[in-house]
Amino acid sequence: MTAIEQSSVAARPEGSRSWKKLRSSRSALAGLIIISFFSALAILAPLLPIADPVATSWSAIRKAPSAAHWLGTDDLGRDILSRMIWGARASLMAGVFSVLIAVGIGVPLGILAGYFGGWVDLVISRVTEALLALPFLIMAIALAAFLSPSLTNAMIAIGLSAMPIFVRLTRGQVLAVKQEDYVEGARSVGLGHMDIMLRYILPNVTAPIIVQATLTVATAIIAEASLSFLGLGQQPPAASWGSMLNVAKNFLSQAPWMAMWPGAAIFLVVIGFNLLGDGLRDALDPREH
């Protein structure tokens, strides 16, 4: 059996062991439960029997939590529970799609830099280092302001700001993997560069990318909340946890529940993705198999 065949056969039992190890991690399962809960709320928001998140009521301004409004109302009499649920859609969409943008651009560039080396690596690495010199959130704010305020542009800004992280991570993994026997075996049988990169390089650098992507979703959610807080993300009257906090800061003493619920939601979702990311790191670590 060739080295290439051995690597493909070994992948199946390793995947099974990784899944068993992930299931045995209580923290990872707790994170998965938190993420699943908020994801279900976001997906089912149009079907749930909740109030209109943008409907105002001048007779219900800043009402405390009650049977009529479980989480209270805001400064315009809007139901906070419904705005929390619809805000979950904005936050989770921003987190996931921002990371997809970062991975979709960063991983191919990292593979090209690590695999070909030379001037390709030099150009990509120098540009990446220049971008990494800029603080992540400052770069996201600058891009979002340049693109004009909206949730879509905020996702693009966050994705482009996170992209250098994946370029550097992928490049480092490719530099190690391309020296393995199965890659040399693929070259010896005459496979082209594209086949080698897609069939033998990419599958073997996927594990750390998945872990980093999971952790970056948490960072992206915080970034989206920050941009919305500054008026550069989701635009009113659409619900967003960040914009809800922006309004709530003016009523902390009169209506603390306006800030408490979106703040708690951001905290829980970020904790959930971090716990899941840590669990994936342990489960996918080849030194643990």
Residues 62-102: pLDDT tens digits?
A: 999 999 899 999 999 999 999 999 999 999 999 999 999 99
Does residue 3 surpass a pLDDT of 60? no
Asked if residue 111 is part of any domain, the answer here is yes
CATH number of residue 86's parent domain: 1.10.3720.10
Confidence of residue 284 (pLDDT cuts 50, 70, 90): confident
Asked if residue 160 is part of any domain, the answer here is yes
Helix (H, G, I), strand (E, B) or coil at 79: strand
Mean pLDDT of 118-135: 95
Q: What is the pLDDT of residue 11?
A: 46
Does residue 23 surpass a pLDDT of 90? no
Asked if residue 162 is part of any domain, the answer here is yes
Does residue 283 surpass a pLDDT of 90? no
Asked if residue 8 is part of any domain, the answer here is no
Mean pLDDT of 219-233: 95
Q: Which domain holds residue 57?
A: 14-284
Confidence of residue 189 (pLDDT cuts 50, 70, 90): confident
Mean pLDDT of the chain: 90
Name the more confident of 209 and 21.
209
Q: Please give the C-alpha separations between residue 194 and each of 41, 114, 147, 177, in angstroms, as whole numbers.
A: 41, 13, 34, 15
Confidence of residue 25 (pLDDT cuts 50, 70, 90): confident
Asked if residue 289 is part of any domain, the answer here is no
Asked if residue 39 is part of any domain, the answer here is yes
Asked if residue 7 is part of any domain, the answer here is no
Angle formed at CA 65 by CA 64 and CA 66, multiple of 5 degrees: 110
Confidence of residue 6 (pLDDT cuts 50, 70, 90): very low
Does residue 8 surpass a pLDDT of 50? no
Residue 111: HSE in the Cβ half-sphere, 13 Å Cα cutoff: 20
For residue 233, report the phi and psi dihedrals to the nearest 5 degrees: -110, -130
Q: What is the pLDDT of residue 165?
A: 97
Secondary-structure percent of the chain, ordered helix, strand, coil, rounded to 5: 75, 0, 25
Does residue 154 surpass a pLDDT of 80? yes
Does residue 156 surpass a pLDDT of 90? yes
CB–CB of 174/201 below 8 Å? yes
The percent of residues in the chain predicted with pLDDT above 90, rounded, is 79
Asked if residue 211 is part of any domain, the answer here is yes
Q: What is the pLDDT of residue 79?
A: 96
Count of structural domains within the chain: 1
Does residue 28 surpass a pLDDT of 60? yes
Model-wide pTM > 0.75: yes
Q: What is the pLDDT of residue 185?
A: 87
Task: Please classify residue 100 by burial: count the beta carbons closer than 10 Å to its beta carbon, then call 0-12 exposed, 13-18 middle and 19+ buried.
Answer: middle
Q: What is the pLDDT of residue 138?
A: 94
